[in-house]
Amino acid sequence: MTAPLIDPFQRAINYLRVSVTDRCDFRCVYCMSEDMTFLPKKDLLTLEELERMCSTFVRLGVEKLRITGGEPLVRRDIMTFFRAMGQHLETGALKELTLTTNGSQLHRFADDLAACGVRRVNISLDTLDAEKFKRVTRWGRLENVIRGIDAAQKAGLRVKINAVALKGFNEDELIPITKWCADRDMDLTWIEVMPMGDMGEEDRIGQYWSLHDLRQELAKTYTLTELSERTGGPARYVRLEETGQKIGFITPMTHNFCESCNRVRLTCTGELYMCLGQEDMADLRAPLRASEDDALLEDAIRAAISLKPKGHDFDYSRQVIEGQMTRHMSHTGG
């Protein structure tokens, strides 16, 4: 049972993204509807079950673990889970433990996260305008996120800002956000909006801002140098010669990254999604709970990886939404 996890297309799966909750204290317009119905708490894996699940993946060769949500830091007692995962860093079995957060609760946990071995955090932030921030998150307050960024940097965590490119919303902030990140020594990644979940009256096509167009706009101000660097995720990077900062582009729509996909996603209910943009999933909760021994769980994980598809079918090119997923991003994990 020590053979690495290899999918049908000979991609080694060594990166697990784990959603520890579908709940969030924001209601971002591209992620959730305002009146979300969240899962009953009884349906969620306990923190002990999440620990056992993730430890099994680590034993099978996962070297990078990213904790997501919803908003992961709203889950009660979540630091007990981080401390448990930090033990795998100490043994060397796990190479990196990271977190994606909206930053609202980060001021409370930054020091504890650093103590658990977390060295990098991704913070979702689409605008530096307080009123626009309130509008895009519906419930959020920009000052709380800035407070979280301050706390993370003070704790020694490397911060990367993730910004979703939204047409007609933050196009005019491309250069200001870039300069702000440079001044604070933070890297920045832009993400194309993906067709995940029913947004009610929100218009996906109207939201979509191609990163090809964004890059062209960025190149009017900066000299962009392509980088070969990969961080284990889907981003492609450039360096801005004038500032030296690294800018990432995650482009599931204009240029998918499926050929190098090394990751799978575990939900807070124990569903394993082999692809963010496909509905196929495997139930790992049943084998987890069926036995105190991990043999059934390991078999189920290997069987799931053997079904990993070649890629997703997201497509906006014909001005209609194709490949749309019925589940919200918060269900699978951002």
Q: Which residues are annotated as a binding site for S-adenosyl-L-methionine?
A: 30, 70, 124, 194
User: What is the rounded (10 degree) CA torsion for 45, 46, 51, 53?
Assistant: -30
Phi, psi of 43 (to 5 degrees): -80, -15
How many angstroms separate the CA atoms of 259 and 276, rounded?
14
E runs forming strands in 166-305: 187-192, 224-227, 236-240, 246-250, 263-266, 271-273, 281-283
Residues annotated within the binding site are: 17, 24, 28, 30-31, 66, 70, 100, 124, 160, 194, 258, 261, 263-265, 275
Residue type, 208: Y
Give the count of beta carbons closer than 10 Å to the beta carbon of residue 156.
11
Helix axes 106-115, 78-91, angle to 10 degrees: 30
What's the token pair of residue 45?
A: 């894996």
Region label for 136, one of left (φ > 0), alpha (ψ between -120 and 50) or beta (otherwise): alpha
Q: Which residues does the annotation place in the binding site for [4Fe-4S] cluster?
A: 24, 28, 31, 258, 261, 275
Q: Report which of 313, 307, 309 is spatially closest to residue 325, judged by C-alpha positions.
A: 313
Annotated binding site for GTP: 17, 66, 100, 160, 263-265
